Structure 1
């Protein structure tokens, strides 16, 4: 966040004193008014810390008070509260609460504005702030966070202990990583970005692709294309115990843009019965025929030999599920062709030799570390999917999914889809990002608020593709 602070300092040097805070407060007040619906007569409580977030909250509160709201400020450090903002609030008719009345005020509030801690907050909330976060959690008030919810870390998305859970977060100038990454994202609610005129460098820590960007990456056949020129993806998946994993990986691959799918493994009969267009072989990966990319691991059981054989191929390889457990680290690190690894949090923890909770608490750090350690592109699955390259650079964040995607076999579909995009010619980072985007959209379309199976998600991928393209 030092980049943001530097941009703020540069802008403040060119503006009249207080102008930047007034811009932020105006956007914050407008968002609060929209959330309230009726401002006049509403009860608003401001939770005010000692930083600029507290000043933003006070100035926004003054604007709401001038429109007829009853606004009360709770000052966590009265001697360090933003003096000019506090004066503005009082002049507009707002008041400051006595410490013994805070819980009752929050309980009766229509809106609580969280201005306790700003982007510099680290290490969790202090005890007095924890008490306020607990009171907010128990209330029925709508909650608006200033820049980001107090208790979440802006750079990492970590939440260390109690934190304010917002319905709406109004952030200024640029997206903060903590607003896009679990677990902090769960606390942010809906996020609204207010432009306050910051000039930021183009290099970003995070990227979030949108429809137009994904559409430009989708492989499109031309008049001269045939099934082989469009790419062939090999699927080495499934076992006697898990034949369905092979079927689901193939189902994703057939909808991912490659011209043909080769299947190698013990589930050939199940694959052919479901998808007769698949090219099936039982001769092993090296003798299955030419492919432009491999997917290995879904439902593979303990077939370490096949995983090793695929990793030895000089084409892009996606490693998932059992393949992550069976792959030798040096075999992955030594590859010259691109490698895309697709772990969930538990698998990532095993690869890093840490507890699952450590990955879930610091997903951004975990995906970067995995990419560096394995010299691979890593897609860390979750409610927000992260895609990191071994060479560093911006991490891609995808949040198109739905909790209904947390179902058996969903990851197998994603692997087949991403592998097909690899075979169609997309770089590993783009293949993983586009696959996650389409997979999430397909999950939304398939679910529409109800439970779905992985096969339903695969069936809706063409709809997601058309939605992005059109």
Structure 2
């Protein structure tokens, strides 16, 4: 599992490490890892390290010191290294001396754009993890030049101008091809919009001891494999769990079909469907148990999914919300569900909004949600007393208990297609019925859903039905 920690936690761990290590050892470890990564980037370019032109963008903090010491290592390998000093009087003295001893040179910010245009590699050491609110005006032309240039851009710890704790980008920021981060991942490297600025992320261990609860968790194959339900010798369809799907309408029968398609592939032993699209569901999936008598008379289930394509059927939504089993609320169900009734539930609740739906629930603009995804997911979870799966290019799953938020980035832009969310609802609801917690069902469902999107699209447009069909493929891959 990949974990990310707050700036405060990382700072505390750094102070503890510096107290037990020789002076400067921590920075030298970071610089060594950074220099190695830069050399590897240059090694894939025509010039390689020797004779290559490297430009360091150096601010006034330790972040700039890391860049200077790494630049000194590259200079000793034959690179031509120039440090553009944004605050010449406050640059890290030890790093600056090391660079000069190694044959590197310095320049002022006015010369930066010209140097960047001729560089093979640009190293962003402008602002460290304590930066807030975007780049200062004098750094903006340098960031813009780096984005235009043919040079590769490597960020030190995180791209300058992004918020390390929240992933927010409140102004101009550096766009990196590679971010080399030290000691621990920072939340902003895993959450959009900041994640888009980070490029590939490489973690360099520098000997930090991190005993605090992480801010973010990102599941990997092994983590998801441990969560996925596997039937035993004594299992039958009822012991494996039955998921109820209350979805669809005369206008949107396809939503019901797609939610059922996801549910059938999500680990539960049986799927009950309730709603007006029964004929369409049976025609596509004859194994579904269909009822037109409403949720209360549909038969026993271990979890409900309500809302996809429901139109204005507030009665069905209210009936499901009142059920004493885990419930997943999606799409129209989010709009129709009574907030007080959701908060009053004693069984787990999983809400799965996209940014627009989350904005409507919070009473803010969609842009506010997209710009502050972590804060929005936490706020929704706390307000409704529910687990919230906030869909997006990085999906966040936040529990009402305020613990670590799960982040998932397995998806693909091709998932932005009609019906994709309906498949996710059925899939995650089925995992709920199979016995997973709301946090685990949302996290594992999002992980499989994203991987299935990659497999189904394979670089080309796909339909939601293709997505559902690929779930079994990625399930076997994860389990394997």
What does residue 61 of structure 2 align with?
51
- Consecutive unaligned residues of structure 1, counting only runs of 5 or more, are none
What does residue 6 of structure 1 align with?
12
Distance 1:219 1:172 in 2: 36
Give 1:99 deviation, angstroms: 3.7
Deviations 1:280-305 (A, max 9, x none): 11111110111100000000011111
Q: Describe how 1:194-213 pairs up with structure 2 within 5 A.
A: 194-213=204-223
Distance 2:148 2:223 in 1: 41
Q: Aligned pair count? A: 470
Q: How much is the aligned-residue C-alpha RMSD, in angstroms? A: 0.7
Q: Name the TM-score, length of structure 2 as normaliser.
A: 0.97
Change (3 A) 1:171 1:99: closer
**Which of 62, 65, 76 is the equivalent residue of 2:75?**
65
Residue 124 of structure 1 aligns to a residue in which SS?
Answer: coil
What does residue 419 of structure 1 align with?
429
1:305 aligns with 2:315: yes
Residue 369 of structure 1 aligns to a residue in which SS?
Answer: helix
Q: Name the TM-score, length of structure 1 as normaliser.
A: 0.99
What does residue 23 of structure 2 align with?
17
Distance 1:335 1:150 in 2: 43
What does residue 391 of structure 1 align with?
401
**Which of 90, 108, 117 is the equivalent residue of 1:80?**
90
Deviations 1:122-165 (A, max 9, x none): 12211011121111112111000000000100000000111100
What does residue 450 of structure 1 align with?
460
Residue 266 of structure 2 aligns to a residue in which SS?
Answer: coil
Q: Which runs of 4+ in 1 moved over 2 A?
A: 98-101
Give 1:58 deviation, angstroms: 0.3
Deviations 1:196-255 (A, max 9, x none): 000011411110111111111110101111101110000000111111100000000000
Residue 207 of structure 2 aligns to a residue in which SS?
Answer: coil
What does residue 3 of structure 2 align with?
none
Give 1:383 deviation, angstroms: 0.6
Residue 74 of structure 2 aligns to a residue in which SS?
Answer: helix
Mean Cα displacement is larger for which, 207-216 or 131-140? 131-140
Deviations 1:151-198 (A, max 9, x none): 100000000111100000000000100000010000000000000000
Give 1:350 deviation, angstroms: 0.5
Distance 1:212 1:349 in 2: 34
Q: Describe how 1:137-286 pairs up with structure 2 within 5 A.
A: 137-286=147-296
Mean Cα displacement is larger for which, 10-19 or 91-100? 91-100
Deviations 1:97-126 (A, max 9, x none): 244322111111111000000000012211
1:31 aligns with 2:31: no
What does residue 95 of structure 1 align with?
105
Residue 460 of structure 1 aligns to a residue in which SS?
Answer: helix
What does residue 335 of structure 1 align with?
345
Residue 235 of structure 1 aligns to a residue in which SS?
Answer: strand
Residue 128 of structure 1 aligns to a residue in which SS?
Answer: helix
